[in-house]
A = this chain, B = another copy of it.
């Protein structure tokens, strides 16, 4: 079969205006980035404010294994399949980070005949949103450091600057650094600091969670960058950097529109990394996806314990969305790798799928299991999955969109439409705002992850006390933990029980409106693997792209 980039290169695409017109946008509404991508200004979107909302479908998945479950492929294929059914559909995806593109995971634009176009722009700088978030983040950091070095009027405690630096590159060497060397006039104040990847920046979360320009401003101002010598939080507003960040982010707040290989419109707005960030599409693109289409298919990052839980408990809580259906993507190969005994038993591997399906139901959202079929899957294996889902009482559909595009997603599209027509969703969040921070963490840990309890180490207890003292204890939690297990231990497959969630640090994202318990050994910026994708990527003199996927 052809590579993803070959398939995309050979596609005969209409300019973005055609896909945009399906949602009611005129050519003049679009702020173009080349012929195939555009930003839609908020002023244009506001025209649709009074329209009724379409249905909201969240695509999530079982826990990632090295086999891959193909969640983005399935999301895009489902959009294509719904388009073929004549449904007025829009997609909602996240903007790829260049860290994984050049690291281990690759891009995030689907694959085969289920891709968004053009993958060589979307997977790189796209419309510059991630670069803008980096620039705003680092300007705020520079302003904080400059404040420290130039008189420190706010009496910031130099050992309690919580606002680090950011970069959209995988570099473990920047995780822990010492800045400010070389003397005060050269380097400022020597301090321990570090970098996080841009997707994990609170700026990224704020961009994705803001529902208007004024909300963006309010949230940016509320960012806590440090604590002063009396232990009181110091905000970005006090640093005097909000207006400048607003200017830097003035275009990034506008959703981007691209299309599938079959010409279906897809909003791509908001950043990935549901392990160390909230990892869901932006509120604004979701809101207007619902206003401009009859069905919006949006994708949450990683498995249902991460992206879906955060979509329900953070995004839907803040924005008031009420999901109508959740597609849980799995593959036969990935299910087999979830056999906790390591023997690739399909039966034992179901434990992981079952737990995620059970979790989805806890939010009152009807699940549909999508099996992303690979050519090596046997009919017997596929039948075993169907039978298992039947026993669970959950609709199950086979998807072959990678090889066949929207045509291969027909069964899935039908299953999803059936759930939407039944209208049985009764969405609610997992917990109330009023629980204590520890109660919220405990609820997510035990009910979603299957932990027996929570263990606080490092600065976690102190952090929680400090957040509660600052009056922010009512915010929901956005857990940072490994995506490789439903637990906090990357090595545990299936649906492990009898383990304790280890929280080593708890960070406040007051502007984003959540609290981040950092669990296990998760790092907020990835490193490069031994054989990075960057080594195998090329762009030839005649414009041919090699190795990008």
Contact = CB atoms under 8 A, between A and B. Distances in A.
Contacts of A537: 243-244, 247
Of the candidates A174, A191, A250, A523, the one having the most CB atoms from chain B within 10 angstroms of its own CB is: A174
Interface in A332-390: none
A423 interface: no
A187 B167 contact: no
A87 interface: no
Contacts of A530: 150-151
B143 A172 contact: no
Contacts of A532: 143, 146
Contacts of A243: 534, 536-539, 546-547
B165 A176 contact: no
A41 to B, nearest CB: 9
A149 B173 contact: yes
Nearest to A140: B534
Given A125-B128, A128-B128, A534 B178 contact: no
Contacts of A541: 212-214, 217
Given A213-B541, A527-B146, A534-B143, A173 B180 contact: yes
User: How many copies of this chain?
Assistant: 2
A18 interface: no
Contact of A534 (B179, B244, B527, B533): B244
Interface string A136-177: 001101110110011100000000000001011111111111
A231 interface: no
A539 B179 contact: no
A214 to B, nearest CB: 5
A31 interface: yes
Nearest to A536: B243
A13 interface: no
A149 to B, nearest CB: 7
Given A135-B168, A171-B141, A247 B539 contact: yes
A528 interface: yes
A67 interface: no
Contacts of A168: 135
Contacts of A213: 541, 543
B188 A173 contact: yes
A173 B145 contact: yes
Interface of A: 31-35, 98, 102, 120, 124-125, 128, 131-132, 134-135, 138-139, 141-143, 145-146, 149-151, 165, 167-182, 186-189, 191, 193, 212-214, 217, 240-241, 243-244, 246-248, 250-251, 523, 527-528, 530, 532-539, 541, 543, 545-548
Given A124-B247, A146-B527, 9 more contacts: A32-B35, A124-B250, A138-B169, A142-B528, A146-B532, A177-B180, A243-B539, A247-B537, A247-B548
User: Closest 7 A-B residue pairs measured CB to CB?
Assistant: A243-B538, A131-B131, A244-B534, A176-B182, A176-B181, A142-B171, A246-B539
19 contacts: A102-B244, A125-B135, A139-B534, A142-B170, A143-B532, A145-B171, A151-B530, A167-B167, A176-B182, A177-B177, A178-B178, A213-B541, A240-B534, A241-B535, A243-B537, A244-B533, A244-B534, A247-B537, A247-B539
